Amino acid sequence: MDATCRLPRALARPDLMEWTQQTQQAREWFESLRDRICAEFEAIEREAGSDASFDYQAWDRETDDGSDGGGGVRGQMKGKVFEKVGVNVSTVSGEFSPQFAGQVNGASEEHPEFTATGISLVAHMANPHVPAVHMNTRFLTTQAAWFGGGADLNPPIEYAEDTDAFHARLRAACAAHNPTYYDRFKKWADDYFFIPHRNKHRGVGGIFYDHLECPDVAAFERNFAFTRDVGEAFFDSFPAIVRKRMGQEWSEEDKAAQKEWRGLYVEFNLVYDRGTLFGLKTGGNIDAILMSLPPEVTWS
């Protein structure tokens, strides 16, 4: 693929060059994971008799002063199995607005500088029996540096065995690093992906974590290894669920239920999602930020 993100410029912090190098490490991993996921999703389309493939578009982050703010690559595919799937990788830098800086770990009005790199994926499926899914992992630096992310399953029609398989793989990834991670991060996902005005969860959860801080190289390597394993857990579990369900017969009633369920997804992402807010507040690509929205949705 010719389109690539640009590594952000070094900022004024004396130790930022070290973190910029680690930002590059994280970026390379996110890009490699993107390439593997997109290839796997295209392979699933081929298995279904479709020639759909990802369309990639590079974008640059615009800054007020014309400096290099980084950018990203947005990949999107619409096929027979994946009604709409977006896989984005971005690597950006700059300064938060004074109003937003105080809401971000390690940033302030006095120190608004940041770098951020991450992968974000949302898949909405044609077959109502195949769950939608979200996965995002990221590395940010301000006056602090940390990893965050997670993955969660969003079935319009739930199958307990699929939910159990998805969670089991995430549980194994967590257990390899810290025996408390799964319970902590599952609860965080349950609390985070809740829609108060509907008194409902968006889906059947997964894990969500943030602020795994990296004050030194050892902590960076440890938290980076965990973040990679979260990506591997997603890669191992979700395509298997898709292949299991994508040929299942569905009715118009099933499709109607899927479209109505998608309303919950839209409401959460536009009202509560922190990633949407972060992208809008940092001058991200609007199409990439809103790629999480489903292609067809209804409200009762």
As beta bridge partners, residue 55 has: 76
Radius of gyration (C-alpha) of the chain in whole angstroms: 19
Which ranges of 63-115 does DSSP label H, i.e. alpha helix? 98-101
Residues 177 and 198: their CA atoms lie apart, in Å, by 35
Given the residues 124, 129, 134, 167, the one annotated as active site? 134
CB 39 within 8 A of CB 49: no
Residue type, 32: S
Residue reference for tokens 């997804």:
265
Active site residue 211: no
Q: What is the dihedral of CA 96, 100, 102, 107, to 10 degrees?
A: -20
Nearest CA to 59 out of 288, 298, 292 is that of 288
Q: Which of 204, 210, 124 lies closest to 165, judged by CA?
A: 204
Structure tokens at 26: 């994280």
CA atoms of 65 and 62, how far apart (whole Å): 9
Six token digits for residue 144? 């602090």
Measured distance CA(86)–CA(259) in Å, rounded: 18
Residues designated catalytic: 134
